[in-house]
Structure 1
Amino acid sequence: MTNEFAKAEMAAVLDEVQQQFRAIAKVQQQRAELTASATVRKRITVTVNADGTIIETKFASDIDELSYSEIAKAVTEAAQQATAEVMRKAQELMTPLHDRRARLPKLSDLIEGMPDLSAEMPKAPTVSLAPPNAEERRAFAADDRAPMEFSNVEFVSRQPGADRGVTDSSW
């Protein structure tokens, strides 16, 4: 009886996973079609694709009223705004998938004794929008060089000469 229940539960999980895969494929296609545009100073419009790559830049006819540095700054700002918007749209597309995935059982729910490793997942750092040599970027890079620390480590004591690898005759 319990075996039939387990089979039915596993079949339901597999069906849900297949539905999830179909939904992922649909969202991936929709995401690939995303674009976003931003206009800065009413003279510069930048359009980016779903990856945040600039696919079009337009200048108004009165662009020559701006200095080169003003144009450069405005193009950068417009690209950042457009990228933020396309990322927001992509997150919006992903929300139903995240909600659906949250309803799926975790591997630790299905396999007795399997630990739940979701809390161990590293968090991605916030990416800096500062220019290459800005103080903010240098400070961020210095923080990134901090040594990694692990709390679940086992120490192994190696005795010299005890491990000779594949030439060890104890194989």
Structure 2
Amino acid sequence: MNEWLRADAAMMMESMSEQMQGIAKMQRDRARLTATVTACDKRITVTVNANGILIDTQFADDIGDLTYSEIAAAMTESVQAAALKVIEQGRQLMEPLQERKTRLPRLSDLVADIPDIKSVIPVATPASTAPPNSPSRRQPDEGADAAPFGRRSLINDPDD
């Protein structure tokens, strides 16, 4: 019986080690991801990194044919579209690890009376892509608890 437990534990540790190596590789691969989107008949090209942060902007020589409002709207839409593309690339990169994870036993399967962790982890609220002063950003969150401490930033934030 003792040998069986040791063998089972060794197998689980090896599986966990493989999973950690896979996660490390995925993180390295994800960090290299970029996504590029063009807009306004190729007058605007934006590229974002794996975090959806704008890292490059290119304007064609005839960008002056557009109004400032058109450029601003195209930039916003393009950066959001590129961010969605890079998020999808990251999701696809994670698929093999997610599949492997579903095959591993959960702690609740191994230890009686332990709740499944997934049942107690809150689901993240998706970030809004609405402009700063839009009505959807001004609606209070239902059931949200007030933060016990105020947020203080070292950066001048126009909303503070």
Alignment TM class, shorter chain as reference: 0.7 to 0.9
Which residue of 2 is the match for residue 96 of structure 1? 96
5+ residue gaps, structure 2: 146-160
Bigger radius of gyration: 1
5+ residue gaps, structure 1: 149-171
- Matched ranges for 1:96-115 at <5 A: 96-115=96-115
Equivalent residue of 2:61, what SS?
A: coil
User: Are residues 54 and 41 of structure 1, via their aligned partners in 2, closer, same or farther at CA, if it must alter by over 3 Å?
Assistant: same
Quote the offset at 1:26 in angstroms: 0.7
One-letter amino acid matched to 1:143: D
- Matched ranges for 1:8-157 at <5 A: 8-42=7-41, 43-139=43-139, 142-144=140-142, 146-147=143-144
CA–CA distance in structure 2, aligned partners of residues 78 and 136 of structure 1? 21
**Count of residue correspondences:** 144
TM-score between both structures, scaled by the size of structure 2 = 0.85
Question: What does the per-residue CA deviation read over 1:81-115, in whole Å, with 9 as the maximum and x for residues that have no partner?
Answer: 00000000000001111111111111122223322
One-letter amino acid matched to 2:12: V
Percent sequence identity is 46
RMSD of equivalent CA atoms = 1.3
Quote the offset at 1:7 in angstroms: 1.4
Which residue of 2 is the match for residue 5 of structure 1? 4
One-letter amino acid matched to 1:94: M
Quote the offset at 1:147 in angstroms: 4.5
